[in-house]
Amino acid sequence: MERAEYERLAALDRRLWWFRGLHAQIAGALECHGEWAGDERVLDAGCGTGGLLVSLRDRMPSVALFGLELDGVAAGVAQSASGRPVVGGSVNQLPFPDETFAAIVSADVLCHRGVDEAAALRGFRRCLKPGGILVLNLPAYGWLLSQHDLAVHNVRRYTARGVRSLLASAGFTDVRTGYWNTILFPLMVLRRKLGWQGEGKPASDVVLMPAPVEKLFAAIVALEAALLGGGLRFPFGGSVLATAVRP
């Protein structure tokens, strides 16, 4: 991503309502797959400036967390913020031995311009232990590509069905997909498709809202996380959350 976007992430990836919702969704998906002991290694592949690592550290303090990040400055910020080791490298060629991790999480990475989907998924499968869990979050719906995606170098958006097919083709089993950020989805569509686009370089939507709005939106996505954790499934939403197992 552009340096300005990394700086924006570093300032907001533990404060903004959307990131808080994202972190709750991914942590909840991990927790649904059993108890996590201290000898279990979990990788955040494409960890950015470390917001998810910090959130997982706080929720799962005994787990051995690792990060992987292509951008050297962002990797340093993530390691400093989380206190967990962050390795420099690409998801296209994971720099880890086979069967290293009990789980790999990756939030909005496969959609990036420089990522080879097939190579990344092969690497995730190789580096997971048999029975290991992959958790992906991906932006939804190709028709929703916008200035935000240009700013963060996203070139792909997904459907739940498409992600299921992608993971099955990569050799994963027990693939489960669903949508979230559903309640606020109409506002997202209005902002992305009808909002003012401005001049010059495109900018992302990673912007802190007024405090009352942040609290309201955070409460909404927290409610969604609780409902999804209880087994409810939404028919649409701004993001696709997927889990899959390495056989």
Enumerate residues 6+ apart whose C-beta is below 8 A from 162: none
User: Domain 3-245 adopts which CATH fold?
Assistant: Rossmann fold (3.40.50)
At residue 2, the pLDDT reads 62
- Rounded mean pLDDT of 67-96? 95
Output the CA torsion 182→183→185→190 (10° steps): 170
Here the tokens at position 54 are: 């910090």
- CA neighbor of 28 nearest in space, from 161, 180, 162, 139: 180
86: which strand partners?
A: 67
> Would the pTM count as exceeding 0.95?
no
Tell me if 221 sits within 8 A of 181, measured CB to CB: yes
Confidence of residue 8 (pLDDT cuts 50, 70, 90): low
Distance CA 2, CA 26 (A): 25
Query: How far is Cα 245 from Cα 227, in angstroms, rounded to an integer?
Result: 23
pLDDT per position as a tens digit, 28-37: 999 888 777 6
> Domain extents for the chain?
3-245
Token duo for residue 198? 């401005």
Q: How far apart are the first and last CA of the chain?
A: 33
Q: What are 100-143's pLDDT values in tens digits? A: 999 999 999 999 999 999 999 999 999 999 999 999 999 999 99
DSSP class of residue 38 equals: T
* CA count, 13 A, side-chain hemisphere, 36: 24
Closest to 151 measured CA to CA, from 195, 206, 196: 206
Residue type, 189: V
Q: Contact 147/203 with Cβ under 8 angstroms?
A: yes
